[in-house]
Amino acid sequence: MTKVTCQSLATDLARKAGTVHFNDAAPALVEAAIARKEGSLSVDGAFVTDTGQFTGRSPKDKFIVRDELTEKLVWWDNTAAMSRENFDALLADFTAGLEGAELFCQELYAGADLKHQLNVSVLTPSAWHALFIRNLLIRPARAALEGFAPDVTIIHNPAFKADLEKHGTRSGTVIALDLSRNIVLIGGTAYAGEIKKSVFSLFNFHAPSQGVLPMHCSANTGKGGDTALFFGLSGTGKTTLSTDPERVLIGDDEHGWSEDGVFNLEGGCYAKTINLSEKNEPEIFGATKAFGTVLENVAMDAQSRELDFNDGSRTENTRAAYPLYVLDNVSRTGTGQTPTNIVLLTADAFGVLPPIARLSPEQAIYHFLSGYTAKVAGTERGVTEPEATFSACFGAPFMSLHPTVYGRMLKKRIRESLAECWLLNTGWTGGPYGVGKRISIRDTRALLNAALSGALVNVPSRIDPVFGFKVPVEVPGVESRLLDPRETWADKGAYDRQSARLVGLFETNFEKFAAADAQIAEAGPRLAVAAE
Residues catalogued as catalytic: 57, 197, 216, 234, 238-239, 253, 319
Candidates 270, 266, 82; CA nearest to 166 is 82
Residue 501 contacts residue 384 (beta carbons within 8 Å): no
Q: Where do the H-state alpha helices sit in 255-360?
A: 282-287
CA distance 508 to 530: 14
CA distance 312 to 318: 8
Candidates 438, 441, 495, 488; CA nearest to 465 is 495
**In terms of DSSP bridges, do strands 62-65 and 174-178 run parallel, antiparallel, or are they unpaired?**
parallel
DSSP SS3 for 250: strand
Residue 419 region, left (φ>0) first, then alpha (ψ -120 to 50), else beta?
beta
Cα torsion at 80, 85, 91, 94 (round to 10°)?
A: -80
DSSP SS3 for 381: coil
Beta-carbon contacts of 85 under 8 Å, excluding residues fewer than 6 positions away, are none
Residue 200 contacts residue 265 (beta carbons within 8 Å): yes
DSSP-derived secondary structure letter, 337? P
How open is the CA angle 166-169-170, to the nearest 5 degrees?
130
Adjacent-strand bridge partners of 97: none
CA distance 466 to 80: 37
CA distance 188 to 417: 44
Give the count of beta carbons closer than 10 Å to the beta carbon of residue 217: 27
Distances (CA, A) of 399 to 70, 391, 474: 13, 10, 38
Torsion sign, CA atoms 44, 47, 51, 56: negative
Residue 280 contacts residue 310 (beta carbons within 8 Å): no
Candidates 465, 462, 464; CA nearest to 473 is 462
How open is the CA angle 44-48-53, to the nearest 5 degrees?
165
DSSP SS3 for 362: helix
DSSP-derived secondary structure letter, 317? -
Number of H-type helices and E-type strands within the chain: 15, 30
Candidates 295, 243, 331; CA nearest to 135 is 295
